[in-house]
């Protein structure tokens, strides 16, 4: 996946739970690292398109600076003391899911 990103002239590969999460994480990453604008590759490790955390867990041991995983933790942190996503290159929303962020009405 890193090689594919390189050939697409991207600086980083980011695995997310679902295709619908890509824009959410792209905005966050580009806000934190503006130099990555238009340089983020979102590879699809399964032919179905929907990945989910079960698929992402398989890549946990391969994460590094240019290959990261981004998830929304939903409520996993409440009932899982051995959270699989605790790693330097796995990023999560800690408390809120993408749906909470997207569905919050404007005040």
Domain residues for the domain of 88 are 2-100
Bridging pattern class, strands 40-41 and 12-16: parallel
Q: Count of CB atoms within 10 A of residue 32's CB?
A: 9
Q: Indicate whether 85 belongs to any domain.
A: yes
| Residue 75, domain member (yes or no) | yes
pLDDT score of 98 more than 60:
no
Does residue 105 sit within a domain? no
106 in any annotated domain: no
Question: Tell me: the pLDDT tens digits for 48-71?
Answer: 765 688 888 888 999 999 999 998
Residue 107 lies in a domain: no
**What is the percentage of the chain residues whose pLDDT exceeds 70?**
69
96 pLDDT above the threshold of 80 = no
Q: What are the contacts of 95-99 at 24+ separation with CB within 8 A?
A: 96/72, 97/72, 97/73, 98/20, 98/21, 98/24, 98/72, 99/72
| Residue 82 belongs to a domain | yes
User: The tokens 């999460």 sit on which residue?
Assistant: 21
Task: Determine, yes or no, domain membership for 18.
Answer: yes
- Asked if residue 105 has pLDDT above 70, the reply is no
- Across 9-29, average pLDDT: 87
Q: How far apart are CA 14 and CA 68, in angstroms?
A: 5
Give how many domains the chain has, as a whole number: 1
In this structure, is residue 41 part of a structural domain?
A: yes
């Amino acid at each position: 996946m890193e090689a594919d990103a390189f050939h697409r002239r991207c600086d980083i590969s980011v695995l997310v739970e679902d295709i619908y999460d890509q824009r959410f994480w792209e905005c966050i990453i580009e806000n934190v690292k503006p130099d990555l604008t238009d340089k983020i590759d979102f590879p699809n490790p399964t032919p179905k398109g929907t990945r989910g955390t079960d698929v992402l867990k398989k890549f946990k041991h391969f994460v590094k600076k240019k290959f990261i995983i981004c998830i929304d933790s939903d409520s996993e942190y409440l009932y899982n003391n051995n959270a699989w996503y605790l790693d330097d290159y796995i990023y999560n929303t800690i408390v809120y899911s993408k749906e909470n962020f997207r569905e919050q009405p404007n005040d």
